[in-house]
Structure 1
Amino acid sequence: MIDFRYHLVSIVAIFLALAVGIVLGTTLLQDPAIDLARRTSDELTNTNNGLRSDLDALRGREAGNDAFITSTTPEMVAGALTGQRVLLVETPGSSTTVREAVQQVLTQSGAEISGRVTLTEKFLDPKGTGVIDGLVSQLKPANMAFPTTATAWDRTAALLASALVTNDQTQAGTPNPATADVVGAFETGGLLSTDDEPDKRATLAVMFAPEKPYEGENAEVQAGALVSMANGLDAAGSGALIAGASVTAAVPGDPISAVRDDSDIAKRVSTVDTADMPMGRAVIVYSLREQLGGRAGQYGIGKGAASHMPAVPSATPSPTTQSGS
C-alpha cells in the first residue's frame, strides 16, 4: 500500500530532478548561447562601422566634387548663353535656394534674367479652371486660336507664354503689345506674382519643380498643369526646361516625371533633376543651349533620365527664329 511518505518522496524527487535539469541545462547552454550572441553583436557592430566609414568616404568625395565643380562652373559656362534672356518660373513648393543658385549660374553663362513669375496654389487649383478660362477668353488676342483638345491650362499657358517669351531675338526685351495686360490681370486675380519685368520677353524659360511631388487626389492634375505651362513656354519661345531634384520613383505629382512619361512633350521640353547639385546647374545651362539648337533631353540621375548631361557645347549656336524647340 502506497503511503503518504511515498508520495512525499516522489514529489521531492521530481522537483529535485527539475532543479538538477535546469542547473545542468543552464550550465551547458550558457557559454555557447552567450558566445553566439556576442559574435553576432560584434559582426553587426563591425558591419555598421564599415558602412559608416563608406558613407563618410562618399560624403567626402561628394563634397570634394561639388567644391571643384562650383569653383570651375564660371569657366565651364562662360559665354554659353550670351545674348539670351531667361525667364524664371517658380511653382508652389519649389526651393528658393535652388532658384537663387541656378540664377547665379545663368548669369555666369552670360544670360540676362528677364524676371521671375511665381505661380500660386490658386493657379493649380482644379476648382479654379473656370476662372482662368474666363480670363483667357477675355484677354486673348482675336487671332489667337487653340486646338480643340486644349485644356484650360493649355490655353492659359499659350496666352501667358505669348506675353512672357518670344522666339524672335529682335523682340526679346520688349513687351508684346497684343498681350500687354495679361500678366497684370493674372497677378490681380491672385494666380501669380512677378518680380522684375518678366513681361519684357525672354527667349528661354526655366521652371522650378516643387521640392516634393504634390500629393492628394489632385496631384496628377497639378503636375499636369505645370507641364502644360512649360510646354506653352517652349512653343512660344526658343526653349524651356523643368529643373528640380530627383525622386526615388515616378509619382503622379512630380512634373519632371510627367514630362518624361509623355513621349511627345519630352521631345520638346527638357528636364534636369539635379538642380540641387552644382553639377546640375551647369547641366541646366547646357540644356538651354541645346534647346536653342532645337533639341531637348532628359538629364539627371532619377527615373527616366536619358543621361547625366547633354554633349558639352563647342561653339555658340546662332539664335533660332523657329517657333518652339
Structure 2
Amino acid sequence: MIDFRYHLVSLISVFLALAVGVILGAGPLQGAIGDQLTDQVATLRDERNTLREELDEAQTEAGEQREFVEAAGQQLVSGSLAGQRVAVVDVDEVSDSTEQGVLDQLEEAGARVVAHESLTAAWTSADDATLRDTVAGGLRDRLDDLEGDDAEGDVITEESTTPELLGAALTVALTDADPTDPSARSAEAETLQGLLEQFGLVDVETAPEAPADAILLLSGGDKGADDAETQDADPATTGIGALTTLAGTAAELAPAVVAGPTTQEGDLVSSVRADDELVDTVTTVSGIEQVTGQIVVPLAVAAQQSGTVDQYGFEEGATVLPPEAGAPGGSDAASGTGEGQGK
C-alpha cells in the first residue's frame, strides 16, 4: 500500500518542475525563445515573398511563351489546308474550349469544316450491342465493294466485324463524292448518313454539306464505359475497342487523324499507339488541351494527306511536329531523330 509520503513527494516534484519552468521562461530563456521565433517568422516571410516573386515571373514567362507559340503557330498553320474539306467527329465528350481551339486552327489553316458530328453512347455501349449488330448486318451489302486508299483489296469482307462495318458506313457518309460532281456528296453517302442518324448512332451538329477530303476524330480522353457495364461484353466491339476500330477503318478509306488530350493509359490515342497495326496507318495527335497540340492538328492532317503517318505529341517516342506538307523525309525531317514513327 502506497502511503501519504509518496503522494507528497510526487506533488512537490511537480510543483518544483513548474516553478523552474516559469523562472527559466521568464528569465534567461525568454529572450532566446523570442528571438528564435522572430527569426523563424522573418525567414518564412522572406521565403513566401520569394516564392510569390518566382510565381509571378513564371506566369509572365508562360504568358510570353504562349504568345510566341500562338504567333509562330499562325505562320506554321496558315494555308496548310487551303481548300481542303474536313469532317470533324467527336467520338466522346470534348470540352468546348478544346474543341473551339482545334476548329480555330483548322480555320487558320484554310480548311473548310464541311461536317461536324458526335458519336452517341449507342456506338460503344455494351447495352446497345444488339442494335449495332442489327444495323451493321443491314449495311453489309451496301459496303461489300469498298476498296481502301492503298488498293490492296476490299476493306469490307464476310469476316468484317460490326465496328468495322459501322466505321466504313460513317466514313463513306462523310467522304463519298458524286461520280459526276466531285464537289457534291453521293446518294450513297446521304443514305448512309440518314441511317446512322435514324438509329441514333450519331448526333449532327453541322450537317454534311460536301464530301470531306479528310476526317478528324476528336476525343476528350474518355477511357470507355464502367467496368460493371463491360465485364461481360466483348472489349473489341465496345468502349475504346470500338473506337480504335473506327479509327483504323476510317484511315483505310480516307486520310484520318485521331486527336485527344495528353495521353493516359486506356484512352483512345494511347490505345491506337499501342496497336502495332494501327500505328502504321492512323495518325494521332495528343495534348490538344493546350494551344501547342491544337496547332499540330491541321499540320498532322496535311501530313496524313501527303502520305505521312506518325504520332505527334510530347510523350516519349512521339514526334513533336509534323513535316511541312509535301516535304520529303516524312517524320524524320520534322523530328530530326531519324527514328520514324513514334509509339
TM-score by length of 2: 0.74
1:92 deviation in Å? Answer: 2.9
For residues 77-226 of structure 1, the aligned pairs below 5 Å read 77-140=77-140, 141=142, 143-144=144-145, 146=156, 150-165=160-175, 173-198=183-208, 200-210=210-220, 213-214=223-224, 216-217=226-227, 221-226=238-243
Q: Output the amino acid matched with 2:318.
A: A
Partners of 1:292 and 1:169 in 2: CA distance: 21
Q: Is the 8 A contact 2:94 2:218 kept in 1?
A: yes
- Shift of the alpha carbon at 1:255? 1.0
SS at match of 2:208: coil
Identity %: 22
1:323 paired residue number: none
Deviates more, 1:68-77 or 1:183-192: 68-77
Q: Which moved more, 1:67-76 or 1:88-97?
A: 67-76
The match for 1:306 among 318, 322, 325 is 318
Matched, 1:266 2:276: no
Pick closer, same or farther for the CA change 1:224–1:71 going to 2, 3 Å: same
What one-letter code is carried by the residue in structure 2 that aligns with 1:299? Y
Tell me by how many angstroms 1:214 deviates: 4.5
Change (3 A) 1:63 1:198: same
Q: CA deviation at 1:101?
A: 2.5
Per the alignment, residue 291 of structure 2 pairs with 278
| 1:93–1:158 Cα change, 3 Å | same
Go from structure 1 to structure 2 and tell me whether the alpha carbon gap of 1:233 and 1:96 turns closer, same or farther (over 3 Å shift).
Answer: farther
Residue 229 in structure 1 maps to residue 246 in structure 2: yes
Q: Secondary structure of 2:277's match?
A: helix
| Structure 1 residues 259 and 22: alpha-carbon distance in aligned structure 2, compared to 1, 3 A threshold | same
The answer for unaligned runs of 5 or more in structure 2 is 146-154, 329-343
Structure 1 range deviating more: 16-25 or 129-138: 16-25
Cα distance change on mapping 1:115 and 1:13 into 2, 3 Å: closer
* Paired residue secondary structure (1:263): coil
Cα gap change, 1:191 to 1:289, in 2 (>3 Å): same
Look up the match of 2:70. Answer: 70
Counterpart CA distance in 2 for 1:97 and 1:15 is 68
Distance 1:209 1:52, change over 3 A: farther
Deviations 1:291-312 (A, max 9, x none): 11222222223x4551321234
Residue identity in the other structure for 2:298: V
2:268 counterpart (255, 268, 276): 255
Number of aligned residues: 308
Matched residue SS, 2:114: strand
- CA displacement 1:156-205 (0-9 Å, x = unmatched): 11222122225999975432444542111111222212244427321211
Cα pair distance change 1:67/1:19, threshold 3 Å: closer
Please report the RMSD computed on the Cα atoms of aligned residues, expressed in angstroms: 3.6
User: Is 47-56 or 134-143 further displaced after alignment?
Assistant: 47-56
In 2 relative to 1, CA 17–188 (structure 1 residues): closer, same or farther, beyond 3 Å? same
Within a 5 Å distance, the mapping from 1:6-21 to structure 2 comes to 10=9, 13-21=12-20
TM-score by length of structure 1 reads: 0.78
Quick one: which amino acid aligns to residue 244 of structure 2? V
Provide, for residues 269-290 of structure 1, a one-character-per-residue CA deviation record: whole Å limited to 9, x for no partner: 2222232333323211211111
53-62 or 180-189: bigger deviation = 53-62
Please give the alpha-carbon distance, in whole angstroms, between the structure 2 residues aligned to 1:261 and 1:73: 29
- 8 Å CA contact 1:90–1:119 kept in 2: the answer is yes
Kept in 2, the 8 Å contact 1:163–1:199? The answer is no
Of 22-31 and 257-266, the range deviating more from structure 2: 22-31
Q: Which one is further off, 132-141 or 6-15?
A: 6-15
Show CA shifts across 1:213-254 (max 9, x none): 5563168742232222222221110x222223215xx322x2
